[in-house]
Each structure stands twice: as C-alpha cells, then as structure tokens.
Structure 1
Amino acid sequence: MKFPGKRKSKHYFPVSARDPLLQATQQEQEEGSWVVGIDQTLVDIEAKVDDGFLQRYGLSAGHSLVIDDATAEALYHELMRDELISHQFAGGTIGNTLHNYSVLADDRSVLLGVMCNSIQIGSYAYRYLCNTSSRMDLNYLQGVDGAIGRCFTLIGEQGERTFAISPGLMNQLKADSIPEEVIAGASALVLTSYLVRCQPGEPMPEATLRAIAFAKKHNVPVVLTLGTKYVIQDNPQFWRDFLREHVSIVAMNEEEALALTGEADPLLAANMALDWVDLVLCTAGPTGLYMAGFTEEEFKRKTNHPLLPGAIAEFNQYEFSRAMRQRDCQQPLRIFSHIAPYMGGPEKIMNTNGAGDAALAALLHDITANNFHRQKVPNSSKHAREYLTYSSLAQVCKYANRVSYQVLNQHSPRLTRGLPEREDSLEESYWDR
C-alpha cells in the first residue's frame, strides 16, 4: 500500500509493476488525496525585552493583551531595529496542522486564509512563507492590503512571558474566496473554533459556513479543533449544537473536553462527544491520548493488547476495529482506544504548543491514505464498507502519539522533517492492522 506522496522504495522493480491486474485502476491524477483547511494566518514572534519596553507599549507583565495595528507596527519596528527577535515562526492551529500533514505525507494540502499583498524580505509575512512546507498549496490565499495576524511573546528580565496579540486583517477572508472545487475533491475540511467567534462585521464566519456547506454537499468530512477552553466555556451549548449540525471529527485536549462536556475524565468526555460527532481525538497531556469512534457491530475486531480499566470497563476491547461514520453503520458500535505518551514523553519538553495539532495531522494522513487507496485499489477488501480511516483505532493512536512526541521534543510547533528513517521503514506496523 503506497501512501500519498513520495516514499523511499527498497524494491528493484517499481511497486506499480508488481501486479499487472492493478494497472487498469491506476490514475494519473490523485484525486481526493489532499486536505484543505481555513486558518487565521498569523506569525508567532518571540523576543527578549526589558521592563521599560513593556511600559512604553502599555503592556502588563505576565498577561495577554490585544493591541491595535498602529501599536503593533511600532512594537515590531523597535524589535527589528534593536535586533531583539529570537524566533519568528509561522503559526495558526490549522496552518500548523496542514504543514505537519504535508511533511508526514510528503503531499499536498491547501490553506485558505489571507496573506499580505506586499511582502518584504525578512518581514513576518516572509517568515510565514519560509516556515511553511513547499507541499502546502498557498495559491488560494486571499490578498489583503495590510498585516496578517501577529502574536508577540515578550520575555522579560525575570523570564516572565507577556503576550501582545495583533489580529491585523487575519479575519478578513471573504466567502467568495472559498473555492468549491478544492473542497469537493478533498479528503477532509479542517477548521478551528476561532473562525466562528470573530468581531461583528468580520467576514470570516460567513466564509467558514460557506466552506462547510460545500463540504456537506460533496460528502467531505468536516474536522474541528476546539482551539482553547476559553472559547468553548463561554457557551458550551452553542458548540454542542455546532458539532451536531456541522462536524464529523473533533480534536481537543482534556481542558477543552471538560469545557465542552462537563466531564473531567477524557474517556467519558470523548464518549459524550460521540453523541454529536463520528470520531474524537482527545490529547490528555501526561495521561496520553484517547480516541473514540464508531464501527459496524458485525465487523468489530478484538484487541490483543491488555484490556484497560477506566470509567468505561475494558473500553479498548475493540480498538483493532476501523472507524466509520455513524450514518454508514447499520448497527453502530462505540469503540475506544488509549495510548500512553511515547517512551514516557521526551526527557525535556521543549514546547507544548502544537502537540495536539501534530496528533491531528497524523489522523488526517491516515484518513487521506484511505481515500488514496480506495481510488487506486477500489476492489480491495479494505473498502468493502465505508470506512473513515485506513488503520484501526489503535494504530491511529500509535501514529498520532509518535508525531505528537516529535513536536514536544522541539522548539517549533511545526515539523521540520518526517519521522526518523527507522520508524519510516516500519510502515506496516503502523498501517496494516
């Protein structure tokens, strides 16, 4: 089974020539083997400053504050002039997820959002492009005459972090900038809760709902990452209704899960979320990672891993089953899986920002691989039913956990390369359950 993208082949003869009976199913155009997402395009800018700097810009040490465009420009100009910036990373939860997907799959993802019409070498917009995978398709970005979003992390003399956030024009994506044909051919549409909760008059929510309408029209799964507990806890019932009406897959951490469901136990929260969606990915810090979904009762597969105790007894009993959308099951059965942090977690956590986005990228890779394989080998027994994932729930957990570890072990939330070669050569252990 060949996943999307170029992989190192250890065969003398091309893999495609092994079975001439499969030649008729090969297509030049790999339709449906990409993911598309909408994001608030922003750059994370980190700098070390003194207390006088914070006072000049009216910032309170240790707190987060939204600043206007004029203040942001003046602040950024001083940081550049005095060479105080230590890091400038492309940010945004969906941008991070799509970048990581493209690194893992070595294949195309499509980002929808805004970008500065005028980009200077060395500027924040330039850094956004430099820190983004070349496999990410940015051709559909909407140009704006002004700044994209900037999140300044200002490290004070005592090491305390102060955040200054400048939205710029990142929420100015218009509904007519959403290309139906790109969504129609995608394996998934990936969104974040931030897109829906904007200032009155900003066009981003309308653009998001239009993209969702296109996804529903073409039967493309909608994936929502909850973003932060603060957005969810303001109106949890709104988000429950939103999930039920629009979303197939939800990704969250344990704090967001608590805000959404009222359940502190990630397993119980994931189970409750299945009342509204088809598949749940929940990262839980040092506890590890949980997944929950549906499969067909008749074709459930028992695990050969030890059965795990929890709020739901022996909840991982059928974790070797592949996930399906509930509506595609005649007798839907809820299935769950859990995995502890890879190797106990890194010896030193360099960065917790983006670990959940990395886990979601792995899940998206598996979903896209399922579509890719269905197109290449439509008569395969793997596609006798309308499965959502290529791998079992347990295997997706294993892959997502490993990718999440990779991000925890580095400073940036974006992968600079795929998994190490040793693991890349063990594809069968990840994919063939």
Structure 2
Amino acid sequence: MKFPGKRKSKHYFPVNARDPLLQATPQEQEEGSWVVGIDQTLVDIEAKVDDDFLQRYGLSAGHSLVIDDATAEALYNELMRDALISHQFAGGTIGNTLHNYSVLADDRSVLLGVMCNNIQIGGYAYRYLCNTSSRMDLNFLQGVDGAIGRCFTLIGEQGERTFAISPGLMNQLQADSIPEEVIAGASALVLTSYLVRCQPGEPMPAATLRAIEYAKKHDVPVVLTLGTKYVIQDDPQFWRDFLRDHVSIVAMNEEEALALTGEQDPLLASNIALDWVDLVLCTAGPTGLYMAGFTEDEFKRKTNHPLLPGAIAEFNQYEFSRAMRHQDCQQPLRIFSHIAPYMGGPEKIMNTNGAGDGALAALLHDITANNFHRQKVPNSSKHARGYLTYSSLAQVCKYANRVSYQVLNQHSPRLMRGLPEREDSLEESYWDR
C-alpha cells in the first residue's frame, strides 16, 4: 500500500522524466493529507540538584507540586546559570503524537497552541522547536508574552525524583486563533482531555470547542486521547457525554478505560466505548493492544488468524474488515482486533511515556493514507463505501503495535526516525493481496 510522503527513488534523476526545461508546473499540493491537533505546549526539563536546592524553592523530595511563574523562572535561571540541566525535551501528548505522525508519514501535521514571542537560543522554547519534526507546521501557533509550560524533573542526591510543574501560559490559546481552513482540509482533529479541564477563566476550553465546531461543520473526524485516569475518574459521566456529542475516535490505556467505563477488561471496555464513538484504540501494557469499531455487515471480512477467546467469544473473527463511522453504515457490525506486544515487548523498557501516543500516530497515518488514496484514485474499489481507515483493523493493530514497541525501546517519547522496516512492508493490506 502507498502512504503519503516520500519514498526512495531508483534513480536520483528519473530516466523516464520529461525534459525539465519543458516542465514548469508547480509542485502538486495534496489536500486533506494532514492532521491537525491542539496541545498544551510544554517542555520536560531534567536536572540534578542537591537537597538545599529543593528547600530553597519549597519543594518536597519525591513529590509533585505546581509552582507559580515567578518561582519557575527563578528556578530555571539558577539551573541554567549553574549548568545543572541534563536534558530539555519537547513534551505534550498531542505534540508527541503529531511529531511521530510526521516522522512516520514524512508528511505535514499542524500544531495549534501557544509559543513564546521571544525565544532565546538554548532556552526551553528553543529546545521545543529543536526537538520537533520539521514536517510539523508551527506557523499557526499563537504568540504569548511569557513562558510556555515547563515540567521540571529534579533528581536529588539519592536519585529520588521531584517534580515541579509550571503551566505558564500554555492554556492561553484563544478561540480566534483557531484557523477554520486548516481544520476544514484535515484528515483528523486530534485533542486531549487536558484541554477541556483547565482553571476557570482560561481560554483553552473555548478554543477547543471552537475547533470541534469547525470539525463537525466540515465532517472531519475528532480524535480524543484520554490523557490520564485521574482526569477521567473525577467525572466519568461528563466524559461519556463528551465522547457521544463530539468525538469519533478515542485512544486510551486500560486504566483510563476502567475510569471511563467501569469495566476492567480492555475488550469489554472498548465494546462499551463503541456506544459513544466510532473507533476505539486501547493499549493494555503487557497484554497488548485492542481495537474496536464498526463496519458494514454485508461487506465484513473474516480473519484467517486463529480465533481468540475472551469476554466476547471469538471476538476477532471479522478483524480483516475496514473500519467505518457508524453514521456511514446501513447495518453496522461491531468488529474487534487484538495483538500481543511486538516480539514480546522490548528486552528492556527504556520509557513508558508516549507508547500510546505512538500507537495513535500510526492510526492517524492510516486514516490520512485513506484520504490521500481517495484523492489520487477516487474511482478505486477501496472507496466504494465511506471507510475511515485504509487498512483492515488487524493491519492497523499491527502497525500501531510496532510503533509502540519503538517508543518503549528508546528514552524519548518522540521518534527520531522512522521504523527500521519500511511502513509498506508492515502494512501489506489484506485488500491488496
């Protein structure tokens, strides 16, 4: 299958190309082959400090504390002055997801959020830009006179980690800064639960709802990653209603699924979530990865993999079907798939932060590939019905699982390069056999 983005050419200058002097057409611009997301722009800052440092800033060793802007600025300046900082990495769940998407697809993604008007070389905002794929479009960020979010990880003399979090102005995204034309042409709008639950008076929730309004207007699927169980368990009914009213695709882990549905089994929790959304991605740690969705009953396709036992008997029997939105089905059929961790998981897990974001990036890549192919070959039989994904549910699971493995196997939640194998080899679609 062909995904959007560059691929290796056999010849540097193609031998069958027309005379370049007679070929002056501008580079073709693909429409609808990008994703757009909103994020709280923040930087993860790691430093080694002594106990006196923690006491000076009123921090309790081993705990997490939100600090005000003045304290954060003084703390950061001292860390910089004394060269105590070991790492400064771009963070944020949507930023990580879009970065990984752009690395995998070698294609455009658009980030909406805030960024410092004044950026100092070597500073945290500078490091955010340095750690972000050049394929991520940052031209629509809203400038602010102040700091973006900073999460300090302070490693004490005994190796104990203390966390100091400074939100800065990361929630000051205004609704007027949401560009309708960017959302209208996108394959998906990607959000996180953190955007909705902010402090009273902050404009981020209104900006998020404005983006959702544009997505609905232009029939763009809205994707929500649940972020953390602590946000969901405070008011699960609010999130059920939010999913039902605004969201097409939900991404979560098993803890967030439990908080949302009250069901501990990831398969049953995914099935319950289909009452509110069209497609579910649920990562379950060492258990692997589950997906649940809908397809047209008349065109379902049986798997040739072994049928799996579970709370839903032989739940994966139609996993070779492609996902559709519920509204596009005449007779919707629920379909499920599961995959165990790739190669049993890494020999040593280097980082658990971002594995779910990596899996979501793979799903977004497949969704965007579907739109890309529809534009290039509109009369293809693959687009005879309103499919949401290019590949079958089983193939999307396979791809998402592989990307999760890659993130677990490295220190950073952001991929530095694509997968060792080409995506095409991973994504040999059942429909292309």
Tell me which interval the TM-score lies in, with the shorter structure as reference length. Answer: over 0.9
Name the structure 1 match of 2:126.
Answer: 126
Change (3 A) 1:27 1:127: closer
Alpha-carbon distance between aligned partners in 2 of 1:11 and 1:164, rounded to the nearest angstrom:
52
Q: CA deviation at 1:55?
A: 1.4
Change (3 A) 1:429 1:184: closer
- Secondary structure (helix, strand or coil) at the match of 1:4 reads coil
Is 1:16–1:23's contact at 8 Å kept on the other side of the alignment? no
Unaligned runs of 5+ in 2: none
Alpha-carbon distance between aligned partners in 1 of 2:411 and 2:156, rounded to the nearest angstrom:
19
Is 2:189–2:221's contact at 8 Å kept on the other side of the alignment? yes
Range with greater deviation from structure 2 (59-68 or 419-428): 419-428
Range with greater deviation from structure 2 (5-14 or 44-53): 5-14
- Secondary structure (helix, strand or coil) at the match of 2:104 reads helix
Alpha-carbon distance between aligned partners in 1 of 2:25 and 2:69, rounded to the nearest angstrom:
54
Q: How many residues align?
A: 433
- Secondary structure (helix, strand or coil) at the match of 1:335 reads strand
Q: CA deviation at 1:57?
A: 1.0
Change (3 A) 1:61 1:413: same
- Secondary structure (helix, strand or coil) at the match of 2:24 reads helix
Unaligned runs of 5+ in 1: none
Aligned-pair identity (%)? 94
Name the structure 2 match of 1:383.
Answer: 383
Is 1:120–1:126's contact at 8 Å kept on the other side of the alignment? yes
Cα deviation, 1:11-31, whole Å, max 9, x if unaligned, reads 899799999999999992200
Cα deviation, 1:173-192, whole Å, max 9, x if unaligned, reads 00000000000000000000
Change (3 A) 1:277 1:426: closer
Is 1:33–1:371's contact at 8 Å kept on the other side of the alignment? yes
Is 1:300–1:318's contact at 8 Å kept on the other side of the alignment? yes
Change (3 A) 1:345 1:89: same
Name the structure 2 match of 1:24.
Answer: 24
Change (3 A) 1:31 1:54: same
Alpha-carbon distance between aligned partners in 2 of 1:137 and 1:326, rounded to the nearest angstrom:
31
Cα deviation, 1:298-326, whole Å, max 9, x if unaligned, reads 00000011111111111100000000000
Range with greater deviation from structure 2 (1-10 or 232-241): 1-10
Q: CA deviation at 1:339?
A: 0.5
- Secondary structure (helix, strand or coil) at the match of 2:16 reads helix
Alpha-carbon distance between aligned partners in 2 of 1:160 and 1:285, rounded to the nearest angstrom:
25
Alpha-carbon distance between aligned partners in 1 of 2:131 and 2:73, rounded to the nearest angstrom:
21
Alpha-carbon distance between aligned partners in 2 of 1:296 and 1:19, rounded to the nearest angstrom:
48
Normalised TM-score (structure 1): 0.95
Range with greater deviation from structure 2 (209-218 or 62-71): 62-71
Change (3 A) 1:150 1:229: same
Change (3 A) 1:348 1:432: farther
Is 1:183–1:214's contact at 8 Å kept on the other side of the alignment? yes
Cα deviation, 1:255-313, whole Å, max 9, x if unaligned, reads 00000000011000000000000000000011110000000000000001111111111
Cα deviation, 1:231-278, whole Å, max 9, x if unaligned, reads 000000000000000000000000000000000110000000000000
Name the structure 2 match of 1:359.
Answer: 359
Alpha-carbon distance between aligned partners in 2 of 1:39 and 1:420, rounded to the nearest angstrom:
28
Alpha-carbon distance between aligned partners in 1 of 2:136 and 2:413, rounded to the nearest angstrom:
16
Change (3 A) 1:144 1:78: same
Change (3 A) 1:51 1:12: closer
Alpha-carbon distance between aligned partners in 1 of 2:126 and 2:403, rounded to the nearest angstrom:
27
- Secondary structure (helix, strand or coil) at the match of 2:422 reads helix
Alpha-carbon distance between aligned partners in 2 of 1:399 and 1:19, rounded to the nearest angstrom:
39
Alpha-carbon distance between aligned partners in 2 of 1:430 and 1:350, rounded to the nearest angstrom:
33
Normalised TM-score (structure 2): 0.95
Is 1:25–1:375's contact at 8 Å kept on the other side of the alignment? no
Is 1:399–1:430's contact at 8 Å kept on the other side of the alignment? no
Is 1:25–1:376's contact at 8 Å kept on the other side of the alignment? no
Q: CA deviation at 1:10?
A: 4.4
Alpha-carbon distance between aligned partners in 2 of 1:9 and 1:368, rounded to the nearest angstrom:
22
Change (3 A) 1:81 1:289: same
Alpha-carbon distance between aligned partners in 2 of 1:214 and 1:279, rounded to the nearest angstrom:
20
Name the structure 1 match of 2:300.
Answer: 300
Change (3 A) 1:294 1:426: closer
Alpha-carbon distance between aligned partners in 1 of 2:187 and 2:347, rounded to the nearest angstrom:
36
Q: CA deviation at 1:60?
A: 1.3
Is 2:153–2:164's contact at 8 Å kept on the other side of the alignment? yes
Is 2:320–2:430's contact at 8 Å kept on the other side of the alignment? no
